[in-house]
Structure 1
Amino acid sequence: MVVELPNTFLRKRYILCSVGISLFVYKEVIKLTIIKPIMKRSNGDDNAPFYHSNEPSVFKESGETKIVQDSTDCQHIKQQLANKEQEAMIIYNNLEEVVWSIDIPSKDVLFCSNGFEKLYGYTLDYIISEQEYWQSLIHPDDRSKMKRAIEDLLKGEKLFVQYRYYHPSGEIRWIEVKCFPILNDQHQLTKLDGIMWDITDKKHMEERKEYLAYHDYLTDLPNRRQFDSRMDELVKNPHSVESFGLLFLDLDRFKHINDMLGHFIGDQLIKEISDRLRECVGHQHFVARMGGDEFSSILYGVDVDQAIEIADQITKQVREPYFIKGYELHITTSIGISMYPFDGEEANHMIHNTDAALYHAKHMGKNTHQIYTPSMNITSHKVYYLEKDIRKAIYRDELFLEYQPKVSSKTGEIMGAEALIRWEHSEWGRVSPGEFIPIAEESDLICEIGNWVIYQVCQQLHDWKRSGIDLVPISINVSPKQLLKENFTQTIMEACKIYSIDPTSLHIEITETSLIQSSIVVNETLTTLKDIGITLSLDDFGIGYSSLTHIRQFDLDVLKIDKSFINNLPDQQEDVTIISSLITMAHGLGLKIVAEGVEKQDQLSFLQQQECDYIQGYLFSKPILANEFITLLNKNRLQNKHPHYT
């Protein structure tokens, strides 16, 4: 039993010193007493020592003594260990990792942190007792790997493995395990200590990263890297497919939409176009986004006629309208086509030749496709030099202007003219605006060239005025990029001041893409131009994405109907309806109408019937030099080239 030692025991003692041991001798004990190994502190004092004896002690009246041990330090250490163990438990149970330890002979769980059941959905005891069921929860593709790892572990080797596991919730989780075997002196496995993590999110990120290495992030289409891999595989294994068609697609005017409406609208448009391309190409072929507004397609096992048929289907589908965030968008695509092995037996040759065909398609007016021919490489060579030389064209005096008259549909009187830029290259001769204007747009030289046109027109008006010629307004085409320049209005006013030109002598023609630009700079620029008396014309009306709201917002004066609507008049009933509606609408808003590209008498007759205000086209005059224009202007009235003009 446990007893309280009397104070006399504490007072009357001999202390025999040994390492870590105090011996107490008690001589005055009244009766026999049994002392247990661990005894309470005396007097209820928390600071009093503990007493310990390895065996029960017997005290007799004869005065025999018994040795006991002071175990205070030992008890303090044990308490500290218990506290540390409790602290460790708190830490382990709050870790994201799961820590556990198993005694192998007894299969008892020595320790397991709280996260195990959350990770697995079961307790460790259950997993140990139901080994076959646990193994059935491992993903089939990982079972053999886990079996080999466990066999090595039981042999005393460390285990490190990642595997998939069917959680009771139904989801598949990735688990990473590190396990350390503990062996005895006979090299027998006695214990397993392990730590594991839920690496599901990490694996998903790795899988996504690997996916994006070969797929476009926006459209989920294969990307350029996967395209290159497919091409290399095809040409290195020619027996895998006898022939295939290669298509390169470039969206026409996409950059304008992206610049004017912003990247969000542009991204949504790209996604919708990608969906249409998937549908056109089908699962049996390959389509990729190469970047920006460029796509490619590999058509397996097709001949040239089949490739053309698919290309036609693509151009038809792409040009159907898109409705995004309140905008009705219209866009077209140009396509270059080459055939393997006829147009190249190596991947880089096929790519180069298809690219040349694409450029030719854009040069031919866009919204079309072109089959590669060897002569197209000459065109590509020309483009390279045009990009270099356009920067020098102004300083070499290779640029000049031509003027195309605008006449009254009723009288034939010249009411104005449009200034059109031309380039006489020292090597290539006359370069079409369709070739160099897009290059200037991409390189941002369009602003410098545009300013040159403004000063040239003002200077020409000044010269005509000094010669006593009655002036008519001259229209200048302005790029959307020019309107974004804060000093654009200042440039015009400065040119008018230098050459003493009344701003009312200038008409500014802007494209529809300019109207959808939400920039404050554009709004202020157009307002200022109106304030100083400049007439604003909307060019190529009907082929883009303007709305009546934009037309009214910017207080436009003139609408120019695009020539694509004029070409089929009056035979195409759809175009007849569109033109009639446009003219009626414009007049209702107080706007004048100019019809571009009028070349035939029956076109003129229809436009006269619809009361179109002005006519511009080869029926009256092609674009001509300044001196030729003055000759026509002096006649005041143009006669069309057909005899039935009234």
Structure 2
Amino acid sequence: MINENSKEFAFYRTTLEKLVENAPVGFYVLEDGNYLYVNAYYADLVGYSKDDLINKHVTIHQIIHPEDCSFIEHDLDKLNINEQIETNYNIRKIHNKGQIIYTQTHVIIANHNGKITSFGTVMDITKQKLVKQQLEDGSERYKSLFLYSPDAIFTFNREGKFVSANPASEEIIGYTTSELLEMSFIPLIHPEHVENALKHFEMALNGQTSSYHLIVTRKDGVLIHLRITAFPMRENGEIVGCYGTARDITQKILYDQQMEQLAFYDPLTQLPNRKLFEDNVDQLIHTRSSNTQPFAVLFLDLDRFKAINDSLGHHIGDVFLKLVSERLKNNLRKKDIISRLAGDEFTILLPKTDQEKVIQIAKRINKIMMDPFNVSGHSVTVSVSIGIAFGGNKEETVHQLIQQADTAMYYTKKYKKNSYTIYSKELDIKSAYKLKIERDLKQALEKKEFSLEYQPIFDMQTGEVSVFETLIRWNHKELGLIPPSDFIPIAEESGQIIQIGAWVLESACKQLKTWQNAGLPPFKVAVNISTKQLLHYDFVESVRQILKRTNLDPNWLELEITESFLVDDVELVKESLLNLKQAELSISIDDFGTGYTSLTYLRQFPLDKVKIDRSFIKDINRDYNGERITAAIISLAHSLNMTVVAEGIEEEDQLQFLKCEGCDEGQGYYLSHPLPVNLVKEIFLNQSNLK
């Protein structure tokens, strides 16, 4: 997997910059006639330093011959806002020392909101120009140039047969001069280029000069790329054939292809990258007419890819991403464009479609991605969250469409998983709600809007309270009571969970010490810890300091972590847990069964308790398989010397089943709802309900 901050990405970027800087052709970037970038070849070609060109001491208008400016300006005048052209120019440039340089320029010119930007490559064709003039002149003094030119020089009769060929022709094409004089040029041309070659040959016979690109087959069978210049051959005022020069540009073509691959394609999957994808969407937006079918942008994110990457290794993760790319390509239409944006994020452009077809495609993607992947001998299953945005009018921008699809994907990932969501403005409202939550979280502690409630966990055999789990509540002054499911993920994303978590931990320890001093029966207090807290560089020390400030014995504090955390940065998590155990704290694994771990996997961590997720408990007396799974978890956890807690007990039958299976502790609304501080004492009057 490659991201923009990785060493691998930096390597590809540095390589691309070196290729451009050291290319055997000139390369430049202009904005409104001023140079933004030139490579060494271009600066040397026109005789200026790069600094003089880039810092506006010299503009393009000082370098292009005045007589050649008019047809370039003509093209610029026709260029509308947000349009671009790609073309070739044969233009003269003026060297710093005054001499004329004949060049062939391939350029892309774009008008972006009135700002004219040009990207061009430049070849020096001065020698070819001289050859052309010398051959047309027919002077004896140019014979040496014919013999010693590094470019191929040849003549054809009106039937296309070779009449002459210089030594460079033999070197480039591989046939001897005598062999060429027995041939027509047609057999040398790649089949796909024959029509173009004949067209330019006819142009020369009609008195026109032209320059074009051909692919030719050498005598040894190797394909080479040639830049051909063809012009009429006259004798006594009549056109009797064609003169031509040919330069081998194979290396330049390969270089250009390599540059394009690095600039527009993801190096891992070979899919189009963000830049190329955005260009395709933007083109579709601006070419779409009123009677054109709509198009759709899909934003895909692999669910829990990080867990796969961390548990199996980054190499396996990279192989997996390649397989995902292939599976997507094999299940979409040829006209659909798939892109890898970054990490495990993909986008798909579906042109000429409608909502019904898009939904069918989204469902198919969800289905095919659930089939296991064989990744270097590992069976890997992953689901995908999809967001969909439809292109409707030219007022939309590519960035708005991708953002809309991203917003819809985020909603899928949070509330559905392995499904899809079509973007609507309602999702923007939810995004605004999320932003308000994130903003107001920063002041919630200061405004004392947080409070704690405590839900008892009972010993299944004695019926006594053994632990109180600490639960945070946020009473917002405008929005009222905000569910933890709304603000905890946002606190995690923004990093505010560090400060909030520290407040919860210290408040719970302080409250437990108060209860102990008041003479309540002995029990522990459990506090949920996020992965960001756990992996924070000074978390263990901060826990020690809280225990010291509150004068609480660490044996009375239990820290709960969610199962999914155990596959995030495994070694760091293990190290942090070991340090907590050395501080004499108890550690439990929460929501077990909802992630990718097994009890045998948990053996590598210093855990004391396993809390079975409520999704298993609710199936008791409804699903025999669910009951067997619950019983198996209890049995295996006991064999690993772990205490077992059942979450979400809501019925008497569930309670009795768990007691019969030997579950150690239980928690749920059937036993007790979470309690505010002032009601905790009352629970000890009713704890005999379990007996």
TM-score relative to the length of structure 1: 0.69
1 CA distance for matches of 2:395 and 2:237? 68
2:129 aligned partner: none
Give 3-state SS (helix, strand or coil) of 1:112's partner: helix
Amino acid at match of 1:502: D
**Residues in 1 aligned to 2:579 and 2:688: alpha-carbon distance in whole angstroms:** 34
Partner of 2:480: 429
The CA deviation at 1:626 is: 2.6
SS for the counterpart of 2:645 is strand
Q: Offset at 1:544?
A: 2.2
Return closer, same or farther for 1:287/1:176 CA change in 2, 3 Å cut-off. closer
Do 1:98 and 1:112's aligned partners in 2 also have CA atoms closer than 8 Å? yes
Compared CA separation, residues 219 and 453, structure 1 to 2 (3 A): farther
Give the SS at the match of 2:291. helix
Which residue is 2:685 aligned to?
635
**Post-superposition CA distance 1:114-161 (Å, at most 9, x none):** 853xxx454454344322xx4234233423333344566689987643
* Cα distance in 2 for residues equivalent to 1:613 and 1:215: 56
Match of 2:253 in 1: 203
Give the 5 Å matches for 1:288-437.
289=340, 291-296=342-347, 311=362, 314-318=365-369, 324=375, 331-336=382-387, 357-364=408-415, 366-370=417-421, 375-437=426-488
- The residue that corresponds to 1:111 in the other structure is 167
| 2:599 is the alignment partner of 1:543 | no
Do the aligned residues in 1 keep the contact of 2:201 with 2:230 (CA within 8 Å)? Answer: no
- CA offset at residue 211 of structure 1? 6.3
Contact 1:244 1:339 in 2 (8 A): yes
Q: Aligned ranges for residues 596-611 of structure 1 at < 5 Å? A: 596-611=647-662
Which structure would you say has the larger Rg? 1
Cα 1:487–1:124 shift into 2, 3 Å:
farther
Aligned partner letter, 2:645: V
Q: Structure 1: which amino acid aligns with 2:516?
A: K
In 1: Cα distance, 2:430 partner to 2:538 partner: 37
Alignment partner for residue 129 of structure 1, among 177, 182, 191? 182
The structure-2 alpha-carbon separation of the partners of 1:363 and 1:485, relative to structure 1 and needing over 3 Å to count, comes to closer
Tell whether the 8 Å contact from 1:536 to 1:558 is kept in structure 2 after alignment: yes
Match in the other structure for 1:56: none
Q: How does the TM-score come out when normalised to structure 2?
A: 0.65
Q: C-alpha distance in 1, partners of 2:447/2:225? A: 68
Find the aligned partners of 1:631 and 1:272 in 2 and give their Cα distance.
58
Residues 359 and 380, structure 1, Cα contact 8 Å, conserved in 2: no
**CA shift for structure 1 position 493:** 0.6
1: distance between equivalents of 2:511 and 2:598?
A: 35
Summarize the Cα distance change of 1:170–1:456 in structure 2 as closer, same or farther, 3 Å threshold.
farther
Count of aligned pairs between the two proteins: 539
Residues 109 and 212 (structure 1), Cα distance of their counterparts in 2 relative to 1, 3 Å cut: closer
Per-residue deviation, 1:221 = 5.0
Question: What residue ranges of structure 1 are gaps of 5+ in the alignment?
Answer: 1-87, 640-644
What is the CA distance between 1:450 and its match in structure 2? 2.3
1:593 and 1:322 mapped to 2: Cα distance?
A: 34
Aligned to 2:545: 494
Paired residue secondary structure (1:456): helix
| Equivalent residue letter for 2:187 | S
Number of the residue aligned with 1:146: 197
Inter-partner Cα distance in structure 2 for 1:418 and 1:325: 43
Structure 1 CA distance, aligned partners of 2:654 and 2:540? 37
Residue number among 524, 536, 542 corresponding to 2:575 in the alignment? 524
1:497 CA displacement: 0.7
- Does the aligned pair in 1 maintain the 2:412–2:419 contact within 8 Å? yes
- In 2, are the aligned partners of 1:414 and 1:636 still within 8 Å (CA)? no
CA distance in 2 between counterparts of 1:98 and 1:578 reads 79
Secondary structure of 1:239's counterpart equals coil
Deviation readout 1:33-80 (Å, 9 max, x if unpaired): xxxxxxxxxxxxxxxxxxxxxxxxxxxxxxxxxxxxxxxxxxxxxxxx
How big is the shift at 1:603?
Answer: 2.9
Q: Please, which moves more after superposition, 99-108 or 594-603?
A: 99-108
Cα RMSD (Å): 4.6
* Farther-moved stretch of structure 1 (499-508 vs 468-477): 468-477
- Given candidates 576, 582, 605, the residue that maps to 1:554 is 605
Give the C-alpha shift of residue 272 in structure 1.
4.4
1:456 is the counterpart of 2:507: yes
- Tell me what 1:83 maps to: none
Change (3 A) 1:125 1:491: farther
Contact 1:244 1:301 in 2 (8 A): yes
C-alpha contact (below 8 Å) 1:541/1:559 kept by paired residues? yes
Amino acid at match of 1:174: H
SS in 2 for 1:395: coil
Q: In structure 2, which of residues 291, 294, 311 is the aligned counterpart of residue 239 of structure 1?
A: 291
2:647 and 2:668 in contact (8 A); partners too: yes
CA gap of 1:498–1:185, structure 2 versus 1, over 3 A, is farther
Q: Distance in 2 between matches of 1:274 and 1:104?
A: 50
Structure 2 partner of 1:48 = none
Indicate if the aligned counterparts of 1:227 and 1:288 stay in contact, CA closer than 8 A: no
CA change 1:155–1:296 in 2 (3 A) is closer
Q: Tell me, in whole angstroms, the C-alpha distance in 1 between the residues paired with 2:536 and 2:505.
A: 15
Q: Distance in 1 between matches of 2:152 and 2:195?
A: 24
Q: Secondary structure at the match of 2:167?
A: strand
Distance 1:404 1:327 in 2: 41
Q: Is the 8 A contact 1:261 1:517 kept in 2?
A: no
Aligned to 2:631: 580
Structure 2: how far apart are the matches of 1:275 and 1:490?
48
- Give CA deviations for 1:375-396 in whole Å, capped at 9, x if unaligned: 5443232112122222222222
- The answer on whether the counterparts of 1:334 and 1:366 sit within 8 Å (CA) in structure 2 is yes
Q: Does 1:514 align with 2:565?
A: yes
Q: Distance in 1 between matches of 2:216 and 2:197?
A: 11
Residue 256 of structure 1: how far off its partner (Å): 5.8
Alignment of 1:115-194 (within 5 A): 115-116=171-172, 120=173, 122-123=175-176, 125-131=178-184, 134-150=185-201, 160-166=211-217, 172-177=223-228, 194=245
Pair 1:616 & 2:667 matched: yes
CA contact (8 A) 2:612 2:646 kept: yes
1:445 partnered with 2:496: yes
Moved more, 328-337 or 458-467: 328-337
Distance 1:620 1:227, change over 3 A: farther
> CA 1:501–1:257 in structure 2 vs 1: closer, same or farther (change >3 Å)?
farther
Unpaired segments ≥5 residues, structure 2: 1-143
**For 1:468, what is the secondary structure of its paired residue?**
coil
Output the amino acid matched with 2:510: Q
Structure 1 residue 281, shift from structure 2 partner:
5.8
Q: How has the CA–CA distance of structure 1 residues 195 and 250 changed in structure 2, closer, same or farther, with 3 Å as cutoff?
A: closer
